[in-house]
Amino acid sequence: AEELRMGMAVPEQTPWGVATRKFAEDVASRTNGELTVNIYYNNELGDEQTMARQLARGRLDMAELSNVASSLLVPEYGLLQAPYIFDTSAQADCVTDSGLAAIFGDLFRAAGTVYLAPVDIGHMTIMSKSAILSPEDLEDVKIRTSPTQSDTYFIRAAGGAAVPLGTVDSMPALKTGQVSAVTTPIVVGVAGGYAAAAPQITRTNHGQQIGALLISAKRWVTLSEEHRQALTESARLMADLRPMLRQTENAMLDKVRASGGTVHDLSADELAAWQRFAPSVRAQLIAETGGLAAEKWAAIEAAKAACEVTGG
Amino acid sequence: MIWLLLLCIAALLVLRQSAIVILLFGTAFVHLVWGDGHLEYLIEDMWISLDNDLMLAIPMFLIAGNIMTRGSIARRLIRITTLLTDPLPGGLGVAAILSCALFAAISGSSPVTLLAVGAILYPALIENGYSKRFALGAITSGGTLGIIIPPSIPLIVYGLVTEQSIADLFVAGIGPGILLTIALAGYALWVNRKRPARPFQRAEFLRALREGIWALMLPVVLLGGIYSGYFSPTEAAAVGLAYGLLVEMFIHRELTLADFHRTIIDAAKMLGMLFPIIAVALSLKSVLTIERIPQEIAVWVTSMTDSPIAFLLAVNLLLLVVGCFLDVVSAIVILAPLLLAPALAYGIDPIHLGIIMVVNLEIGFLTPPIGLNLFVAMSVFREPFKEICLAVLPFILIIIAVLMLIVLIPQISLFLL
Amino acid sequence: MTRTVLLTLQRIEEAVASLAYITVAALLIGDVLGRELLGTSLLGAQKLAIYAAIVASFLGLSLATSAGAHLRPEIFDRLFSARHDRLVNRLSDLFAALFFAGMGMVAIHFVAQSAEFGDRAAIFYFPLWPIQLVMPYAFFSCAFRHLAYALHPELRPQGAPA
Ligand code: NA
Ligand code: NA
């Protein structure tokens, strides 16, 4: 039997761990056990940055990467994190499922990897010590942002004092008061224990975190046609992650409410106050990402339009 | 194959190669034979091990410690503690321990602490009629407080390989550090109880306090800054460096730009020796992880006993033995990932495990045949190796006793978290 | 002549390493001051600091070689009588020179791959290979030094391990 060594950042018991294990089981059953995917959770094979590079080099066979790490391979993929890129979640799902592979597949291939599937990670929210409902509440608040241009520029544009920090540093920073708020996907934030220090959750949904399931191109070309087929087919299962994730998000939010926290769902007007910073940040992102960013942005817009036509 | 490797290493030893060459060679061999067969992975691992936020803190703390030793911060701190302990019988002995503890709160390394305090207080102890054996033992073992009282380079390395929060590890070092200081100072007091006390010189003390206030503020700035959230441990290292530099150059005026340049070069060399060891250990760790060795060890260990206490005692025994032969950084990089998996299975707090490891390896600084503080003391105090080993013996016993408390009462480490 | 070359090399490496660490400190402190006083962080300051520190660390590797500072196990030193010391040390340096040159070649291979695959810095997306060139440089610098010591044993640092 052939073995594919695969790395990912999160633990086995998370929605991503569960979905990825199902993917691996499906690969095994489709190939009658001839091809096995051996998963290493929890950054065991190195952090995401390391996994991304080793994937291209062929040291690692497969990886499930966040948007931040995927954009080390393809900077243009980072555009997906642009604030309020999609109009509705139905549109987001439609573009994710039908469009991303076509838009970014060639760039990932050029970076030495094969794009098997998008991986939903969730929407960005703000978790804070005292409620942050509008951009005005953000004024002079030291807030952790993910160390990306999209998140950091957005928070800055909205008036916050952005402190870009990696995931590992976020909790200590909250605990010591280095920051009094964080931006984070819900599951990552609540599972990471942020709610103890930042029990106010505002669902700003200001960024879509879409990662990628990737296989090294060097490894891909050594696989038989049937095995490639099996991987591609099984990778579709990653779409099952979405309902699982939303369920987990709701469970997490209930948990926060039960322990005395507050979850703020924003009204359309409140949301609009945040959304007004999106266009300038997008323009800045496209300009600074360079490469094929403008072209890929147009492709994303086209995919959004196509999804509207098909009523997706 | 293992015999071929051992044979090669023996040949390299005969050929008088440095530890770096032997380590790199051995790791290259492992990659070729048991790994994926690519030598460039070793280079990649060297890059990866350095491409990490935490690796910034180590040179910054090293440079800061060197600056404060070269300038007069250390001297001024010692002046304060000696005047403070005058009214105690054997006050100077207590001052030696307290000075080490105080300097430990600004230095991340054990030999640096030993050097800074020893250069001034060892001659003073001898001059004031303290026995050579006590003086050697107190300074040499007091220096080890440098790595348990934060900041601490070994704690940074532990955080690096186990992905634990450095801020939490630093905070967890405070309780055990204070406990060890009290125990060692208590011993110093008891051994020298027949010595006459001196009257407290109030005016002198106030003057020393005034002259040393900037030095005294440094631990407050460093730890206060980390604890109250003004900066991360990595940033604290840079802030400490800048603070030390400004104070020594513009307030104490006892450090020149040329001195500063030398201290940086010294730190660069020290890191040039240190980082390949960390890189090699991380590289081997990646081979072990792929083979899932840590999990197998965890399964094997947990099948031996259900008791976390039994496990921890076994870990202590292992670390004490390892500490005799390995330096603290290598020991942490190699063993922490292997011990973490079973410790988690027993429900032991990873931060607690880190403190236990560092206190254990602190003892390793004092045990032959390889004990860094023994070597440093041997060369700076010009005393025979055996004499120093005997001198630190009672102190080792005290540290072991405190270690047992730290092992059995996790709250000593975790109460501030 | 060789002495002058070695010394010049050492001065340059020292200057660059020193500058690199000062840059690290400046970036980290700038980040703290910006955040605490001006309310704005420099995105990626820490990342840039890391790259400066990497350069300094690899130069430290070769500076430690030039100072003869690397730790060396001495257990088999008495295998040869003292009058063979000089010869053994020259062989030792020759071997170390070859070994580091070999590491340098592998490092070049690694950097070439990094350039080929377009390894990029996080946040800034600039290519990493120019910075990574410090790795082959440091190994070749070590190799050159050992070769010089093998050819001119009198240049060897005092009490230096190979
Ligand atoms: Na310390
Ligand atoms: Na030892």
- Ligand sitting nearest the alpha carbon of B143: 1
β-bridge partners, B87: none
Q: Nearest CA to CA, how far is B48 from chain C (Å)? A: 10
Task: Report yes or no: C3 at the A interface, CB cutoff 8 Å.
Answer: no
Segment among A294-298, B297-301, B387-391, C130-134 with least mean pLDDT:
B297-301
pLDDT for the residue A310: 66
The pLDDT-based confidence of C158 (bands split at 50, 70, 90) is low
Task: Report yes or no: A46 at the B interface, CB cutoff 8 Å.
Answer: yes
A159 token code pair: 């008036």
B412 with B406: CB under 8 angstroms? yes
Q: Nearest CA to CA, how far is B271 from chain C (Å)? A: 6
Residues in chain A within 8 Å Cβ distance of C43 = 147, 149, 152, 162, 164
* Residue A29 burial class via C-beta count within 10 angstroms: exposed 0-12, middle 13-18, buried 19 and up: exposed
A136 with A159: CB under 8 angstroms? yes
CB contact under 8 Å between A168 and B286, yes or no, is no
Cβ-nearest to C43 among A112, A140, A152: A152
Mark B158-193 as b/e (b = at least 16 C-beta within 10 Å). Answer: bbbbbebbbbbbbbbbbbbbebbbebbbebbbebbe
What pLDDT, in 10s, does the model give residues B63-99?
888 888 888 888 899 999 999 999 999 899 999 999 9
The pLDDT-based confidence of A311 (bands split at 50, 70, 90) is low
What pLDDT, in 10s, does the model give residues B304-316?
888 999 999 999 9
B329 token code pair: 């950084």
What pLDDT, in 10s, does the model give residues C19-77?
999 999 999 999 888 888 887 778 889 899 999 999 999 999 999 988 887 777 777 77
CB contact under 8 Å between A163 and C43, yes or no, is no
What pLDDT, in 10s, does the model give residues A181-192?
999 999 989 988
pLDDT for the residue A272: 95
Residue with tokens 């010189």: B201
B85: amino acid identity, one letter = T
Cβ-nearest to C21 among B42, B59, B275: B59
Return left, alpha or beta for A151; rule: phi > 0 is left, psi -120 to 50 is alpha, else beta: alpha
CB contact under 8 Å between C113 and B273, yes or no, is no
CB contact under 8 Å between C61 and B275, yes or no, is yes
What pLDDT, in 10s, does the model give residues A3-15?
999 999 988 889 9
Q: State how far the alpha carbon of A231 is from the alpha carbons of A25, A243, B270, in Å.
A: 11, 22, 49
pLDDT over threshold 70, residue C161: no
CB contact under 8 Å between B15 and C161, yes or no, is no
Residue with tokens 């025994």: B317
Query: What ranges do the domains of chain C cover?
Result: 2-155
pLDDT over threshold 50, residue A312: no
Enclosing domain of residue B117: 14-414
Cβ-nearest to A44 among B166, B231, B289: B289
CB contact under 8 Å between C88 and B241, yes or no, is no
pLDDT over threshold 60, residue C159: no
Give the residue among B207, B205, B227, B225 at the shortest CA–CA distance from B217.
Answer: B225
pLDDT over threshold 80, residue C119: yes
pLDDT over threshold 60, residue C16: yes
Segment among B163-172, C15-24, C71-80 with least mean pLDDT:
C71-80
Q: Nearest CA to CA, how far is B141 from chain A (Å)? A: 32
What count of Cα atoms within 13 Å lies in the side-chain half-sphere of residue A234?
A: 24
Rounded Cα gap, residues C20 and C16, in angstroms: 6
What pLDDT, in 10s, does the model give residues B230-246?
888 888 889 989 999 99
* 67-96 of C, contacting B, C-beta below 8 A: 67, 69-77, 79, 88-89, 91-92, 95-96
* Residue A221 burial class via C-beta count within 10 angstroms: exposed 0-12, middle 13-18, buried 19 and up: exposed
Rounded Cα gap, residues B60 and C21, in angstroms: 8
**How many angstroms does the Cα of residue B405 sit away from the middle of ligand 1?**
21
Rounded Cα gap, residues B232 and B227, in angstroms: 9
Task: Report yes or no: C62 at the B interface, CB cutoff 8 Å.
Answer: yes
Neighbours of B379 (CB within 10 A): 9
- Which chains contact B through at least 3 pairs of Cβ atoms less than 8 Å apart? A, C
Q: Nearest CA to CA, how far is B388 from chain C (Å)? A: 21
- Ligand sitting nearest the alpha carbon of B326: 2
CA quadruple B338, A64, B278, C150: dihedral positive or negative? positive
CB contact under 8 Å between B235 and C32, yes or no, is yes
Q: How many domains does chain B have?
A: 1
Q: Could you tell me what percent of chain A has a pLDDT over 70?
A: 99
pLDDT for the residue B49: 85
Nearest residue on chain C to B259, judged by CA atoms?
A: C18
> When comparing pLDDT for A192 and A282, which is higher?
A282
pLDDT for the residue A226: 96
Give the residue among B167, A171, B230 at the shortest CA–CA distance from C35.
Answer: B230
Name the 3-class secondary structure at A117.
strand
Q: Could you tell me what percent of chain B has a pLDDT over 70?
A: 100
Cβ-nearest to B232 among A43, A53, A178: A178
DSSP string over B53-70? THHHHHHHHHHHHHHHHH
Segment among A308-312, B20-24, B68-72 with least mean pLDDT:
A308-312
A267 token code pair: 């009204």
- Ligand sitting nearest the alpha carbon of B106: 1
Rounded Cα gap, residues C31 and C10, in angstroms: 31
CB contact under 8 Å between C59 and B50, yes or no, is no
Interface test with A, best of C36, C42, C48, C117 (most A CBs within 10 A): C117
pLDDT for the residue B80: 93
Mean pLDDT of chain B: 89
- State phi, psi for B231 to the nearest 5 degrees: -150, 160
CB contact under 8 Å between C113 and A57, yes or no, is yes
B323 token code pair: 């500490």
> When comparing pLDDT for B56 and A237, which is higher?
A237
What pLDDT, in 10s, does the model give residues B245-260?
999 999 988 889 999 9
Q: Nearest CA to CA, how far is C104 from chain A (Å)? A: 19
Task: Report yes or no: A43 at the B interface, CB cutoff 8 Å.
Answer: yes
Rounded Cα gap, residues A205 and A202, in angstroms: 8
Interface test with C, best of B221, B265, B274, B283 (most C CBs within 10 A): B265
Rounded Cα gap, residues B60 and A114, in angstroms: 41
CB contact under 8 Å between B51 and C50, yes or no, is yes
Mean pLDDT score, B4-32: 89
The chain B residues in contact with chain A (CB within 8 A) are 36, 38, 41, 44, 48, 51, 53, 163, 165-168, 226-232, 286, 289-290
Interface test with A, best of B239, B282, B289, B296 (most A CBs within 10 A): B289
pLDDT over threshold 90, residue B106: no
pLDDT over threshold 80, residue B129: yes
- Ligand sitting nearest the alpha carbon of B327: 2
* Residue B250 burial class via C-beta count within 10 angstroms: exposed 0-12, middle 13-18, buried 19 and up: exposed
Task: Report yes or no: C107 at the B interface, CB cutoff 8 Å.
Answer: yes
A23 token code pair: 């993917």
Rounded Cα gap, residues A122 and A151, in angstroms: 14
pLDDT over threshold 60, residue C162: no
- Residues with Cβ within 8 Å of B169's Cβ and at least 6 positions away in sequence, in order, are B150, B152, B155, B156, B158, B159, B351, B354, B355
Cβ-nearest to A168 among B38, B163, B231: B163
B117 with B139: CB under 8 angstroms? yes
CB contact under 8 Å between A56 and C35, yes or no, is no
Does B2 fall in a domain?
A: no
Q: Nearest CA to CA, how far is C124 from chain A (Å)? A: 9
pLDDT for the residue B115: 86
Rounded Cα gap, residues B153 and B158, in angstroms: 9
A271: amino acid identity, one letter = L
Q: Nearest CA to CA, how far is B402 from chain C (Å)? A: 32
Task: Report yes or no: A203 at the C interface, CB cutoff 8 Å.
Answer: no
| Interior angle at CA B113, CA B108 and CA B118, nearest 5 | 175
CB contact under 8 Å between B235 and C28, yes or no, is yes
Q: State how far the alpha carbon of B12 is from the alpha carbons of B1, B228, C74, C152, in Å.
A: 17, 50, 11, 22
Does B36 fall in a domain?
A: yes
DSSP-based helix, strand, coil % in chain B, nearest 5: 80, 0, 20
Does B8 fall in a domain?
A: no
What pLDDT, in 10s, does the model give residues B349-397?
999 999 999 999 899 999 987 788 888 888 788 888 899 999 999 999 9
* Residue C120 DSSP class: B
Residue with tokens 């970076």: A111
pLDDT over threshold 50, residue A307: yes
CB contact under 8 Å between B59 and C18, yes or no, is no
Q: What is the largest CA-CA distance in chain B?
A: 71
Q: Nearest CA to CA, how far is A165 from chain C (Å)? A: 9
